[in-house]
Chain A
Amino acid sequence: MTRRPTLPLLALTLLALASMAASLGSGSVALDWNDWRSALAGDPGMAHDLVWQLRLPRTIAAFAVGALLAAAGALMQVLLRNPLADPYVLGISGGAAVGALGAGMLGAAAFGQSAGAVTGAVGSTLLVFGLAHGAGGWTQSRLLLTGVVVASGWGAVVTLMLALVPDQQLRGMLFWLIGDLSAAGPPWQALAALAVGLACAVPLGRELNALARGEITAMSLGVETRWLRPVVYLLASFLTAAAVTTAGSVGFVGLVVPHMVRLAVGNDMRILLPASVLGGASLVMLADTLARSLMAPMQLPVGAITALIGVPVFLYLLSRGAKR
């Protein structure tokens, strides 16, 4: 029979809820049971403001960023037929970084930086798409090489910017590059992007499974790869751009989460996508909780924590999977 791993999905849902509770419950001010009751009941006061103005938006931003990156990573891995691809491999985060940091250098405020990040991400997406879609058609290796080269081009521009920028701006820029939720604005765009992206991607699940078997085989199974591949590429770029615009380039989530989840639920994209969303959201919510509390009142960039959690967990799962 086909595997429908309800158990792993249920476990991931519980993990996401627990991570959410941990994220909401931790902070510089300890809230007791009565504070929570009055905050949730809507009584005005310090607890209410703390929960609704600060913690909930932050938690939701962490949820959305993690979910977006994990879903984008799962899509990018199928598109490139490479389990080691991540959402940044084709230069989307580099484009966004150049846009955001460039706007910051020109003195733009947070909104200007977000607009810069969106512009950079979309511009980079279209640039890679246009360059890879040249006369020779659209092959995996051509797309990958174009993306990697464009990404390193952005990397060079970012390095140049960091060298030129005044010192007082340097710290903020570095945090943005590592991935940081402390400057995240309202999370609602990211959440909306997640909903739209999943609504488009989940119905394509079985087609994506066929695409993972190779382009010729997918076509012979009735998949219109001529439009499916650009759609998946644009979808993954859109999800990544939404995440990067919210929190900068948080690393490792898009690579590690789909891979980890794959070891638990298998390769069926219909299950892998929602499972990655839950796993990615949990990882970033937990990482952000740690980032806020490890060295409180100092806040660490969440991207450093996701990598510190992700690397050992991934290596452990990989060695366990190899023994099976």
Chain B
Amino acid sequence: MSAGIPPGEIVALETVGLGIEIGGRTICRSLSLSFGAAQCWAVLGLNGAGKTTLLHTLAGVRPPQSGEVRLDGRSLARTPRRVIARSIGLLAQDLLDAFDGTVLETTLIGRHPHLSRWHWEGAEDARIAMAALAEVDLDRLAARRVSTLSGGECERLAIAAVLAQQPRVWLLDEPTSHLDAHHQLLVLDLFACRAAEQGRTVVMSLHDASLAARYCTHALLLFEGGEALAGAAASVLTEASLTRLYRHPIREIAADGLRLFVPR
């Protein structure tokens, strides 16, 4: 992967002394991190470690208990939501849709922050949406109703919508949880390329440390009790740190030039 922009030079999103609590549990305390352009971050942790809560806080849809999140140096709390939405796209986990539309209509909702109140989605928006659908291998289903899609197709549809949003920072909450192996690699490759070649920032929660090591430049491990370990993927993703993270012995195996992490 050729990096057009040297990693880490431009800071897109940063946390300053961030403290998050939910239901009396500390997710992180005084966390100061910079998510730079052309960086692809994996957020790893046990169930309930606070990956989703952290991503929501980074997206500005949930206020932190202390500290702040800054987009281009400006606090999210003081930035209008519409402005945030043009720069930060969030793939949330609630994929349920009570109202049934077509696949293309659902993708077009990603264009919302770019359109003024009176504008209707135009030919250019439709082109962007179709391109996004093609990237996740759904363009042939553009006219289908969402209720006829499988779980994995629904997840790819939600990814297409957040691609059509065209933000600079993507926050993805378990983007691969419902996908088969082929589409897992397709989606991760897609976002890794967006980071490397277009200088975007990607922060995603994953459950597979091997995939994190394969596609991500950086990793953030959320331990229980609000402790965190962040840094370059090569140095953070180790047998020792993952064994501590998952409270289960993890072994590193090298195969085909990849680092695979296998629970013993």
**Chain A: residues with CB nearer than 8 A to chain B?**
1-4, 77-78, 81-83, 203, 206-207, 209-210, 212-214, 216-217, 219-224, 262, 266-268, 270, 324
Contacts and interface: CB of A to CB of B under 8 A. Distances in A.
B110 A221 contact: yes
Interface in B68-110: 80-86, 88-90, 92, 94, 96-102, 104-106, 108-110
B141 to A, nearest CB: 15
Interface of A is mostly: loop
A2, A203, A262, A267: most-surrounded residue (chain B CB, <10 A)? A2
B123 to A, nearest CB: 7
A1 B90 contact: no
A3 B105 contact: yes
Contacts of B88: 220
Interface stretch (B111-119, B131-139, B201-209): B111-119
A214 B81 contact: no
Contacts of B109: 209-210, 213, 221
8 contacts: A81-B98, A213-B106, A217-B92, A220-B89, A221-B110, A221-B112, A222-B85, A222-B86
Contacts of B232: none
Interface string B13-33: 000000000000000000000
Contacts of A2: 104-105, 108, 120-121, 125-126
B258 interface: no
A216 B92 contact: yes
Contacts of A216: 56, 61, 90, 92, 94
B99 A83 contact: yes
Nearest to A2: B121
Nearest to B96: A214
B105 A206 contact: no
Given A220-B61, A220-B89, A266-B105, A212 B112 contact: no
B237 interface: no
A222 B92 contact: no
B165 interface: yes
Nearest to A321: B100
A207 B109 CA distance: 9
Contact of B61 (A206, A209, A219): A219
Given A203-B117, A213-B109, A222 B94 contact: no
Contacts, number: 88
A222 B79 CA distance: 11
A221 B85 contact: yes
Given A214-B94, A262-B99, A221 B113 contact: yes
A113 to B, nearest CB: 37
Contacts of A77: 99
Contact of B98 (A83, A207, A217): A83
A224 B81 contact: yes
A324 B117 CA distance: 33
B105 A212 contact: no
5 tightest A-B CB contacts, nearest first: A222-B85, A220-B90, A222-B82, A222-B113, A219-B61
Interface in B195-245: none
Contacts of A221: 85, 109-110, 112-113, 165
A212 B99 CA distance: 7
Nearest to A222: B85
B44 interface: no
A212 B80 CA distance: 21
Nearest to A209: B109
Contacts of A206: 112, 115, 117
Contacts of A81: 98-99
B260 interface: no
A291 B104 CA distance: 43
Nearest to A269: B99
Contact of B118 (A203, A212, A268): A203
Interface in B162-199: 165
B54 interface: no
B92 A268 contact: no
Contact of B112 (A1, A222, A262, A267): A222
